[in-house]
């Protein structure tokens, strides 16, 4: 019984520590003059659409990108099943 009492507070403290670290990581400080709220969202969308800070290098080499694109297009050759039946190794259509 004593072992269980010790494990519970330790795991609770560990969980609390993880939550506090995660909260501080997500809540990054704002820079002075940086727009917030709706204005901030609009500024990010405008920046994304303009391409002013776009990467200069492609994400993948030409051959890899071509293979990914081909696989993507081939995925549309199979109809989407109306129902799925769960099996031991995952979801399989009937």
If the chain, 94 residues long, is cut into consecutive pieces of 10 residues, what is the mean pLDDT of each piece? Answer: 54 70 61 82 90 78 89 91 72 56
Tell me, yes or no, whether 72 lies in a domain.
yes
Tell me, yes or no, whether 63 lies in a domain.
yes
Tell me, yes or no, whether 91 lies in a domain.
no
Distance CA 29, CA 25 (A): 10
pTM over 0.85: no
Q: How many domains does the structure of the chain reveal?
A: 1
Distance CA 11, CA 19 (A): 12
Residue 67 belongs to domain spanning: 9-76
Q: How far is CA 85 from CA 35, 77, 79, 80, 89, in A?
A: 49, 21, 16, 14, 11
Tell me, yes or no, whether 62 lies in a domain.
yes
Tell me, yes or no, whether 90 lies in a domain.
no
Tell me, yes or no, whether 46 lies in a domain.
yes
pLDDT computed for residue 61 by the predictor: 81
């Amino acid at each position: 019984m004593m072992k269980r009492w010790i494990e519970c507070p330790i795991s609770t403290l560990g969980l609390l520590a993880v939550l506090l670290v995660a909260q501080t990581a997500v809540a990054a400080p704002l820079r002075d003059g940086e727009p917030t709220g709706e204005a901030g969202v609009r500024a990010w969308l405008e920046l994304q659409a303009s391409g002013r800070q776009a990467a200069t290098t492609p994400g993948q080499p030409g051959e890899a990108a071509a293979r990914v694109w081909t696989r993507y297009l081939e995925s549309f050759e199979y109809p989407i099943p109306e129902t799925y039946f769960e099996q031991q190794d995952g979801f399989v259509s009937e």
